[in-house]
Structure 1
C-alpha cells in the first residue's frame, strides 16, 4: 500500500526519468487499457471531487459520458499519470515477487469476491451490468445472506447484484467476468472465489422507495446462471481452471453439483470438524482429493483463538480423542476450572 507522501515523491522522481521507463510503461498501458483507463479516471475524478461517492459527482462524470471524461483527460494529465504510475509500479513489483515465489515452487492463491463494491471503478464504468436504477444510479437490490446459525438477523452486504436474469445483458456480464478472471489468473496461480453459492443462486434484498435496503430477512433466493456461466468461462479460458471455490455455509445439492460438474476444488475447514455430528465432511479422514484444507478462513478465529476461546468442551474432547489414541489420553493435562488443555 502506497503512503501518499512517499508515492507522490516517487512519482516526481519517476517523471524525471520517464524516458527510461517509456517502452515498458507504454506496453503496460496498452495491455491493461481495458481496465486501467476507467480505473485511473475514476481515481482522478474521486480526488478532484473530494472523495465523494461517484453517484454524487456532476452529471456527465457520474454517467460516464465521453465528453466529460475527455475534458478530465485533457485538464488533469499529471494526476492521471500518477495513478497509472501507482499501478505500473505495483505491476512490476508484484511480477518480480511472483516470479521469485514460483522459482521455489510456491503457488500464490488470491481471493476474488463474487461481488464488487458499489463505490468502485468497476460499478461506475459498468452500471449497465448491475441491477441499478438508471435514473438515480442507486442499487435496486443488494446482496446479502438470510438468517442462519452464524447470524440470527442475516447479513446485508450492501453490494449491487449482477443483472443475471436480463438475457440481453447476460453475455456482457459473462464477458466482463472472463476479463476479470483472466487478469486475476495472470497475477495469481490459483484464484479462490468467495461466496461460490452466489453463482448458483443469490440472496436478493430489496430496497424501499428511497433506495434504502430492507432487512436481510426480507430477501429471497434468486437463481443465478450457474452452469451456463461456468460453461462460458471454460470455453474462453480452458477446461481446467485453477479455481478454489468457497463451498461453505448454508449450501444446497445444486451448489455441490455445480462444483463437481466443472471439477472445481472445494474447501474443508478443520475448525468445523468437531462441532457437528461425529462423522462430518470436515473431519480430516473425510477430505476428498479435490479440496484445499484450512484450519480456518478469514471468517474464522485463528487456530489458537479457536482452541482457547471459541470451542465448546465437547469439541475439545472430540478433537483430543481424534488426534491421540485413547490409551494415551492421560498424557493430556486438563484444567477443569479453566477448561484448558495442554499436551505433554
Structure 2
C-alpha cells in the first residue's frame, strides 16, 4: 500500500546515499541514482473487485513483481523517482469491504477499514465519539487535498516514522489484521513496524483492518506536534499520549508513543512504567519524560539535528503528560 502524507524526499534521498538498501520497502526492486528523476517504468494495472481477487493476484505475481496501491499519494511519487519499479500495480480502490468506520459494542470499539481516507477518519462521528484526539490527529495529516486521497492503511503500510497517525493509534492500543491466502493474523500496532519503511507484513499479505479497543472510563488522550515550519509539514518530533488518573491524582495507566524520534514510530514503555502508580507532580513527570532519551534515536535532517530532536522528544513528552494531568485535575475540581 501507499502512504497518505507527503514523503520527506530530502531525508529519503540523503539516507539513500548512505544506506541504499534502507530506502526500499522489504520487497521493493531497483532504483535510479539518488536525486535523479527518471521516467516511470511502464507497469500493468490490476483492479480487483474483491479481497479474494486481490489476494489471488498478489499470490500469483509476488510482492517482488507487484505493489499494492490504495490512495497513491506516496507510491506514485516513489515510482516517479525510480525508488521502486514494480511491473504490476494492484489497486485496492474497488474493494469496498476495506472501506469505512464501524462502531461496535455501543461505540466502545472501533474497526477502521484500511481504504478509509484520512479525511473520513478525521470527520467520522464514530471516531470523535470514541476519542476526540484521534480525529484531531488525522486533521494534522498534510493538507485537506491529501487527506481526501491518502488512506489509513496505506499510511501504516508505508511505515514512514514521521507520520502523524501511528503514534496516536499506538497510544490507544490499536491492533491490525493482516490477511493472506493462508489465513489471518492480528497483532498490536506497536509490533507492526520493523525499520524505516519496513513492516512485519509478509509476501502475499494485505492489511485488512485496524482495531481500536475499549478505553477505560476517565482515559484522556492528546497529540502534540512540534512544527518548526507550516502546520501541514512533517513534525520535528510528535508525541501521542493517553493517561488515566485516579481520584487522588495518581496515574492509573499511561501509554506514550512518538513519531520522528527513531526509525519506526516508537512506544515509550519506560516513561509509562515510571508514571504508573505515582502521584503526578511536575518533578515526577519531568523525571519520567527524561527516560525517553534512552530509547529515541532520531536522524539528522532539515528539521533538526539528532541532538536537538532528542531534547524536543523529552520536552514534548513532558508537555503531553502535564497537559493530560491538568485536564484530569480540572475535571475533578
Tell me the TM-score normalised to structure 2 length: 0.24
Task: Give the number of the structure whose residues are more often helix, by fraction.
Answer: 1
Tell me the TM-score normalised to structure 1 length: 0.23
Q: Which has the larger radius of gyration?
A: 1
Q: Greater relative contact order: 1 or 2 (C-alpha under 8 angstroms, separation 6 or more)?
A: 2
Task: Give the number of the structure whose residues are more often strand, by fraction.
Answer: 2
